[in-house]
Structure 1
Amino acid sequence: MYSQVNLFLTGKNAFTRVIVPLFLILICPPFTMLIYHTNVHLDGSFARLGQEIQEKGILREIADVWSPRFYGSVTAWKIIGIFAALQIFLMRALPGRRYYGTITPMGNLPEYTDNGLSSYIVTFALFFTGSLGFGLFRPSLIYDNLGDILGALNLTALAFCLFLYFKGIYFPSSTDNSSTGNFIFDYYWGTELYPRILGCDVKKFTNCRFGMTGWAVSVTSFAFAQKEIYGKADWSIIVSASLIVIYLLKFFLWESGYMRSMDIIVDRGGFMLCWGCMMWVPAVYTSPVMFMVRHPVGLSFAAATAIFVLGLAAILVNYWADHQRQIVRATHGNTKIWGKKPVLIEADYLTETGEKKSNLLLASGFWGISSHFHYLPEISAAFLWSCATGLDYFSPFFYTIFLTVLLTHRAFRDELKCSKKYGVFWQQYRQLVPYKIIPGVI
């Protein structure tokens, strides 16, 4: 996610603990508004954005774009409030099996309810019933109010992260909390690993239910917006929005696995993660389809079908790879991968409390090709749903470039974490699987 583009801030010097966090806190909010402005009002042209900045100056440009939407609008606040309340309700009310995350450094074991898929389906059912069934709102409502929504979201996310900062210090949910005494870093990184509010896991809400579900609903609304503007939706936006909705359907099928990923087990609940999911995802992750709303290209059915099939294949391979690792862990290695008994390393490690634990490192199937092979189909899927508009514009591919940098950095970041955690066992794994992403390259 958004968080992985940041430096792995383990150093204790002023650069990593003050300058970098402060820079990102100050730069990212206005940048998201400029992304919105570029895609909605400047035909996706970063050249035109640069020209405006050159004419006005960067501060005046930010003020002109952001100030009319800074506080949002009544409609925007209603949309955010209703959507957030719905996701919290579904998160708590829908049934599902109980499962556990990864044991924390302080020995805590997070507990979750596996109801992400049903929450995703119910959200879409309510969206279509309310808009197309009963006419309570136009399905293009999100796009029509997007600038105000982003303005309100930014305020909400910044204030929420401040609340989480104080909560982690004075009312922590578990013993996995701490403060460096440096407000800038603690606000950015967070003071709790697993903050909970009224029984709801904060990171599960911001990352999955608000961020991922909101991403899917938003691009769906964007497709309907194009239909309202031009009388019909172009195949390009239909294919792109459909692939994203399917990709996120896959995400919720795998949500229990995501709750054991680096975003959850390493990153704390602060600006980096929570603001990122509440604001960066709605502004940047949706940007390819946001651009397409006013750029129908008359994509042929044959071309649309080809892009959709290739994109769907990439999503399925990504899911297949994640499923291989999940099934190995669920069966403690008593399964087959590609028809063979998996190659495994039982890696011992110590928690911060000195307790001895072990994990299985899989070196078969996709995980025998490279340690993060599943990033390749993920990047491929993003490229495919971005290229449906053609290759003449840069804007639709900003997210793909961002994702590539994000995942590459995550692979190196994971290498450092695993090497430190597993020691000699990780060296054994590296002898079996020497490459991180692309065999023979990296």
Structure 2
Amino acid sequence: MSGASSSTAPEEGTTTTIITATTHLTLPAHPIPLTYEQLNPRSKPTEFFGPLGTAAISVLAPLFTYIFFFACNDAVGCTPTTVRGWQQAWEYVSNFPSTAGHLWEWKAAGVYTAWYAYTVLCWAVLPGDKIQGNLLRDGTRKTYKMNGLYTLLLTLGLSLGVILQPGGIQLYTWLYDHWVPLASAALVMSTFQALFVYAQSYYNKELLSLGGNSGNFFYDFFMGRPLNPHPPFFPSFDLKTFNEVRPGMILWLLLNISCACEQYLRIGKLSDSMWVVLIFEGWYTADCLIQEHTILNQMDITTDGFGFMLSMGDLLWVPFTYGLQARYLAFNPVHLGKFWLTVVVSIILIGNYIFRTANNEKAHFRAGKNPKNLEYMQTERGTKLLTSGWWGRSRHPNYFGDWLMALGWCLPTGFSTPLTYYYIVFFVILLVHRQRRDDEACRHKYGKDWDKYCELVPWRIIPYVSQFAYIQRSAREVCAAPR
């Protein structure tokens, strides 16, 4: 804003006029427009051990989705404990005794496609807040429609209507009875989306991710070349953000409900362990959608491109592996009893408290609020970093809360099989890797201020613990390393 005034000494018989002009200017993010090549520099294929690593994960991750089913089911147990048991599991891959293990079924493919189309329709027609995302490096911001919670509520209402009908519980077990063909349909959908947006990114000149533009197909296909892809002619539909919390997360809950219906039909009631899994994994889904706007600040949205890593993770991995505990309990009920029920619920509640409180502290602070009067340090970039509260106890306290909740979801399955504990192992690896990537990005972003911050908050994930098994190095050593 600029102002100008004009004034001269008054003379007899004259009138003095003062003119003030105000101009509002909207300055671009870059005074000098950057070219497409400058906005989208070539990246180095270093994540996940480069092209070979990403190619291997692209094969192994979907493969393990199938392994979790064929090695853990009511036909062979969970897991097979004899050579003959493993041979039988292998034979069942092509000839499972029920539709649940058939590799492909066109009806299941149609149901999954209809489910995905339903979630898109809900996004389009249900009301929702319009939220602006973070400033992109080309000086623009995307606007997101946040109505995932309404999609969940409508879906649960329709599900309840089905279950309460005569024969509705048995009808709802259709999802449990078609587990593998539904997973195959999700794999086809995720592969198609990853290939489509990869090819489209070469023609529509969209903004690319800084980590997925290496020029190597296997690497860029997995990491994601486009940053915010959208279908042709629908620029307001951000495919990455939509997939993050809609079709996969809600389907995870629906599959859990189907598993609960299966257990009810088998034993005439729901075990306390099934109630724990159903309630708390359901609450996690609901909480995610209640706080849907917070995903706009996550690395998945701000940094990562949309490729097979996210499409497969959102559409296949989340619903069909995160629900392993409920599926196990459907055919192998576990009774916890009052003592272990109290222990498990306490672990989950503590984890949820840490997770939600830490995220709320960060969300309030980013919104310019500080109701707890938390301490912070000022950076040369003009931004602030929290140094007290949960964010003074570790640099990622929400990850610690996530770990506790993940452990609490696995414990209801008892100790008869290690397979149902894959989730906590996977989550430890996932969040440690994400913490490393996030710290590296912050070091690049804040420079020497990040070193100062690491000295104030040296603990990575677990509060006041600098070492976690063999994967946690000295925080001071890492922060002092040359950049």
* Aligned equivalent of 2:147: 115
Partners of 2:272 and 2:101 in 1: CA distance: 33
Which of 138, 148, 151 is the equivalent residue of 2:171? 138
Corresponding residue to 2:136 among 95, 104, 113? 104
Match of 2:22 in 1: none
Please list, as runs of the form range in 1=range in 2, the aligned pairs for 1:163-178 lying within 5 A after superposition: 163-171=196-204, 173-174=206-207
Residue in 1 aligned with 2:220?
A: 186
CA deviation after TM superposition for structure 1 residue 244, in Å: 0.3
Deviation at 1:134, TM superposition (A): 7.7
Tell me the equivalent position of 2:6.
none
Unaligned runs of 5+ in 1: 1-8, 350-357
Letter in 2 for 1:130: V
Task: Describe the SS at the equivalent of 2:72.
Answer: helix
SS of equivalent residue, structure 1 residue 293: helix
What is residue 244 of structure 2 aligned with on the other side?
Answer: 207
- The letter of the residue matching 2:138 is M
Q: Does the C-alpha gap of structure 1 residues 324 and 46 become closer, same or farther in structure 2, counting only changes over 3 Å? A: farther
Secondary structure at 1:99's aligned position in 2? Answer: strand
Q: SS of 1:138's equivalent?
A: helix
Letter in 1 for 2:377: I
Segments of structure 2 that go 5 or more residues without pairing to the other structure are 1-41, 468-483
Q: 1:10: how far off?
A: 6.4
2:363 corresponding residue in structure 1: 326
Q: CA deviation at 1:131?
A: 3.3
Asked if 1:246 corresponds to 2:246, the answer is no
2:62 to 5, 22, 29: 29
296-305 or 17-26: which moved more?
296-305
Distance 1:13 1:67, change over 3 A: farther
TM-fit CA distance, 1:191: 1.7
Residue in 1 that maps onto 2:453 = 429
Which of 143, 151, 159 does residue 127 from structure 1 map onto? 159
- The offset of 1:229, in angstroms, is 2.1
Match of 2:431 among 403, 407, 415: 407
Q: Is the 8 A contact 1:104 1:176 kept in 2?
A: no
Query: Does the 8 Å contact 2:328/2:413 carry over to 1?
Result: no
Q: Which has the larger radius of gyration?
A: 2
Which position in structure 1 is the counterpart of 2:406?
A: 382
Q: Which residue of structure 2 aligns with residue 92 of structure 1?
A: 124
Aligned-partner SS, 1:200: coil
Superposed displacement of residue 376, structure 1:
1.5
1:318 touches 1:377 (CA, 8 Å); kept in 2?
Answer: yes
Q: Deviation per CA, 1:140-186, whole angstroms, max 9, x where unpaired?
A: 22111111111222122212211121122223554668743322122
Q: How many angstroms apart in 2 are the aligned matches of 1:252 and 1:367?
A: 23
Secondary structure of the residue aligned to 2:145 is: strand
More helix by share: 1
* Alpha-carbon separation, structure 2, partners of 1:413 and 1:295: 39
Question: After superposition, what is the alpha-carbon deviation per residue over 1:224-271, rounded to whole angstroms, capped at 9, x for unaligned?
Answer: 111112222211111111110011222122221122101111211100
Distance 1:18 1:79, change over 3 A: same
> Percent identity at matched positions?
24
Is residue 336 of structure 1 aligned with residue 360 of structure 2? Answer: no
> Structure 1 residue 273: deviation in Å?
0.8
Superposed counterparts of 1:286-297, under 5 Å = 286-297=323-334
1:217 aligns with 2:242: no
Higher mean alpha-carbon deviation, 123-132 vs 299-308, is at 299-308
244-253 or 131-140, which deviates more: 131-140
Match for residue 274 of structure 1?
311
Residue type at the aligned position of 1:186? D
Structure 1 pair 156–306 and aligned structure 2 pair: CA distance change class (3 A): same
Distance 1:126 1:11, change over 3 A: same
> For 2:89 and 2:248, how far apart are their aligned partners in 1?
32
Structure 2 distance, partners of 1:437, 1:223, is: 34
Say if 1:212 and 1:248, in contact at 8 Å, map to a contact too. yes
Query: How do 1:279-318 and structure 2 match up within 5 A?
Result: 279-301=316-338, 303-318=340-355
Alignment of 1:149 with 2:182, yes or no, is yes
Which string of whole-angstrom CA distances, capped at 9 and with x for unpartnered residues, describes residues 296-351 of structure 1? 12332554354234423321321111011001111x2x4232xxx221233355xx
Q: Deviations over 1:57-82 (max 9, x none)?
A: 98x886667997333331x1233123
* TM-score for both structures, normalised by structure 2: 0.79
Conserved 8 A contact 1:322-1:374 = yes
Residues 149 and 286 of structure 2 are in contact (CA less than 8 Å); yes or no, is this contact kept in structure 1?
yes
Give the corresponding residue for 2:395: 371
Is the alpha carbon distance of 1:47 and 1:406 closer, same or farther for their aligned partners in structure 2, counting shifts above 3 Å? farther
In structure 2, C-alpha distance between the alignment counterparts of 1:123 and 1:56, rounded to whole Å: 38
**Mapped contact 1:84–1:210 kept (Cα < 8 A):** yes
Alpha-carbon spacing, 1:30–1:266, altered in 2? closer, same or farther (3 Å): same
Native 8 Å contact 1:144 1:225 kept in 2: no
Distance 1:170 1:135, change over 3 A: farther
Residue 465 (structure 2) pairs with residue 440 (structure 1) = yes
Structure 2 residue 273 is the aligned partner of structure 1 residue 236: yes
Tell me if the contact between 2:209 and 2:226 (Cα under 8 Å) persists in the aligned partners. yes
1:81 maps onto 2:113 in alignment: yes
Q: Distance in 1 between matches of 2:349 and 2:47?
A: 45
2:131–2:144 Cα contact (<8 Å) kept: yes
Aligned to 1:3: none
Is 2:133–2:296's contact at 8 Å kept on the other side of the alignment?
yes
- Residue 169 of structure 1 aligns to a residue whose secondary structure is coil
Q: CA distance change for structure 1 residues 267 and 14 in 2, over 3 Å: closer, same or farther? A: closer
